[in-house]
Chain A
Amino acid sequence: MGRSKNTQGTTTPLLSVENLEVAFDSVNGKVHAVRGMSFSVGEGEIVGIVGESGSGKSVACRSVLGLLPSYASIDGQVLFEGSNIIGQHEDELRKIRGKQISMIFQNPASHLDPLMTNGQQIGEALRYHFNQDSRKARAEGIELLKAVGITDPEQTFDAYPHQLSGGMKQRVLIACAIACRPKLLLADEPTTALDVTVQARILDLLRALNQDRNLSIVLVSHDLGVIAEICQRVVVVHNGLIVEQGKIEDIVSTPKHPYTQMLIDSQPAVKARKSCEKPKIELDPELSEQPPNLLSVENLRVNSRTSRGFLDFLRHRKTSGLVRAVDGVSFKVRQGEIFGIVGESGSGKSTVALAITKLVSPSEGQVLFHNKSIMELRGDELTNYRRSVQMVFQNPYDSLNPRFTVAQTIGEPLLKYSLATKTKCADRIDELMELVDLSIDLRHRRPRQLSGGQCQRVGIARALAMKPEFLIADEVTSALDVSIQAQILALLERLRDKINLTILYISHDLAVVQMFCQRVAVFRAGRLVEIGPVDEVLTRPKEKYTQTLVNSAPQLHFSASLPAH
């Protein structure tokens, strides 16, 4: 890992934040987002800020550029090259923004203007700050695109953002940000919306920019693994306060604060490592007596077509724009196991789930449940099948009807299928809420009054109301903080043992799958690349793609050579 020159020492740091306090006025009084943070960034340094959602890390980052809304009250100092930014006039700030300090964001798609070509967006910054003419801006823009690792800079320069992939968009955004040769780049969750392999490349790029251009970077992320990958120092924030800061190696190997310890322990990769040290589940009885298959997917093919227009409809044209979402996939899930499906976006992993739940119909192949094909199920048989196969979704807020209370959400299937009488329903709801560790006091809350983790528990309780045998969990933890993620995974594991649930766990996160699943299937572009026991596939991958995937995943490195404190 590249460490750039250490410029800390006697010189004043490039950026120093001192006793920063930010509060927002809201209907319920003041909300203190940042409650006194002090940290500094030296020239040519990469500093990571890690914390969970609501910890104030993004707010602190934005206040450096004076980007907070007008109802925020700010206290303290943000010194950039010795002069205070807080309280400066907009006109002064504009001279700093872009030219001295610039910023990149989580979702590159929403930060690029869809009506401008990539070149225009880059050129705009150059023209604004340096008064360059368009010819010169073009030449420099293409140079910049080359610098951020875009292979065909000339075409990309003239293309529109929607013609690029997510990773390319982030590169263009970075090109815009570094166009005016700023000294400091603020990166707010720059890789969170990207696939792991793309993430690894963007992190490489940031590291290269740091070395080639002596660009200081503040990397804000919820993922300690990402931070550890490229940062020299890390600032751990929790509830608006800095709980600990220091060299990344020191923090990871000998965290002093319990919160940092918890954050490190919640990292799925660390958990997997720890569970490896423990004796794994006794393998011998499993070998002698394999549990029966609960679900088998045989040679599944799902074609999805782009929507048909009215004329296509008149002409009975059925196959305009055919896309093979799933292309000949077979696997079996054994009773009582947690089976993982891993893949990047667009690999067809969610489509498989929809085919299993019969929400899309495959064009070829079949799905067997208890050795019976589900393809021909109708009426009552279909209802019974639906009851035994349930699903939990990715987005905790989107997966609950915003108008329903918790009790209504969980109770609806109970009443609808007469699984409980009206009088017994309330008891059953309480029972289910207890089962998923939800306090019964939350019964009459609506989704927006719940946290992400609580919403996810409600979603699980709703699925469990049907007493399913098979639960599909589609990216259920990817929108949650690591500590909440660990809790939800623990809950699912407990449910499996307690009510004999078989779980199909779909995720893009290798570390989670490694920790949580027994067997795994790796998907790529609708095809199954590799399948087998987790420890085999993810530690000794046979296929090249799986190897890339495994190598791209950011991890905390606990090398044995680390000094034992």
Chain B
Amino acid sequence: MSLRNLPTTLIVGAGIFLMWLVVALCSPLLMGTDPNALNFEALLQRPNINHLFGTDHLGRDILTRVIYAGRIDIWMGFAGVLPALIIGTLFGLMAGYFGGVVEAVLMRVTDVTVAFPFFVLVLAIVAVLGPGLTNFFIAIAAVGWVSYARLIRAEVLVVKNAEYVLAAKILGYHPLFIAFRHVLPNVLAPIIVYAMTDAVLVILFGASLGFLGLGVQPPTAEWGVMIANGQPYVTEAWWICLFPGLATVTLGLGFSLIGDGLAKHLRIKN
């Protein structure tokens, strides 16, 4: 398939994302210096030739920190989404395809989970488990799978009545085989699209948690933490908050555009 048939949003989004990925992977090459290196001779410097994005209150180079932080934030996007996606997809598929007790139990669990505000529930879990990135991922997966399960179940309910599923049954295949080989591939499209928007939410969420001091711990560079650190100085040193903020926005935009483009592309294909 040629690139020309893909929606523009998908290409632009993928471009932004790839740029961030390359920057993040090559950060030691791009920025040789240690992101946490203090320099008390250059505190709160405006953007200049030596420090393109300026420095923070401890004299750390903002550009270096923004680039290193990209690694954590992109990782957050994936590690926050994937477990929830896998668990939610499996449960949703089982509930939708087999119905009965599995469905009744699973769907009530999701109802209960949905009854709590997402943010509050994640905060509560992180507060109980203790701050840190791993616990953040656990909390996100524990709460986030619910949306995937619901979405997949709804799709499965439609696809499982398709005649090709009936044909597979008449061919005598095992139900699990039918569920995974004939149903699952045909319900994944909306999930992938949703996962992209979800990745944006998780990144923003991780940043908010970092801001609150429950996510990534200082001095590790993370966009949310950097914004939190810059907050007291925002009136006189706007660059401390602005650049990590812009970074968050561009990565988020990239994911959103990918999601949008994928939705368009998959819809055209079907």
Task: Please report A residues at the B interface, Cβ cutoff 8 Å.
Answer: 27, 310, 313, 357, 359, 382-383, 386-387, 389-391, 393-395, 398-403, 412-413, 416, 448, 459, 462-463, 466
Contacts and interface: CB of A to CB of B under 8 A. Distances in A.
A393 B163 contact: yes
B166 A382 contact: no
Given A395-B163, A398-B163, A357 B104 contact: no
Contacts of A466: 171
A398 B164 contact: yes
B5 interface: yes
A413 B181 CA distance: 13
Nearest to B185: A403
B219 interface: no
A27 B170 CA distance: 39
B267 interface: no
A443 B72 CA distance: 46
Given A386-B172, A398-B163, 16 more contacts: A27-B5, A357-B169, A359-B166, A359-B169, A390-B170, A390-B171, A391-B166, A391-B167, A393-B167, A394-B163, A398-B164, A401-B186, A403-B186, A416-B171, A459-B167, A462-B171
Contacts of A399: 162-164, 166-167
Interface string B169-195: 111110000000010011000000000
A387 B166 CA distance: 14
A357 B169 CA distance: 9
A415 B260 CA distance: 38
Contacts of B166: 359, 391, 393, 399
Interface of B: 5, 101, 104, 108, 162-164, 166-167, 169-173, 182, 185-186, 270
Contact of A313 (B104, B162, B167, B185): B104
A386 B163 contact: no
A386 B171 contact: yes
A357 B163 CA distance: 14
Contacts of A395: 163
7 contacts: A382-B172, A390-B171, A395-B163, A398-B163, A459-B167, A462-B167, A462-B171
Contact of A400 (B108, B164, B173): B164
A281 B162 CA distance: 38
A357 B185 contact: no
A310 B104 contact: yes
Q: Which 7 A-B pairs have the closest CB atoms?
A: A386-B172, A399-B163, A393-B163, A401-B164, A398-B163, A391-B170, A357-B170
A387 B172 CA distance: 8
Contacts of B270: 402, 448
A386 B166 CA distance: 12
Nearest to B183: A401
Nearest to A385: B172
A91 B219 CA distance: 66
Given A393-B166, A462-B167, A310 B108 contact: yes
Of B5, B167, B170, B185, chain A has the most CB atoms within 10 Å of the CB of: B170
A359 B104 contact: no
A496 B172 CA distance: 23
Contact of B182 (A389, A390, A401): A401
Contacts of B171: 386, 390, 412-413, 416, 462, 466
Given A310-B104, A401-B186, A386 B162 contact: no
A471 B108 CA distance: 42
A402 B172 contact: no
Contacts of A359: 166, 169-170
A463 B170 CA distance: 9
Nearest to B172: A386
Contacts of B169: 357, 359
B187 to A, nearest CB: 11
B106 to A, nearest CB: 12
A386 B170 CA distance: 6
Nearest to A399: B163
Contacts of B162: 398-399
Of A401, A402, A463, chain B has the most CB atoms within 10 Å of the CB of: A401
Contacts of B173: 416
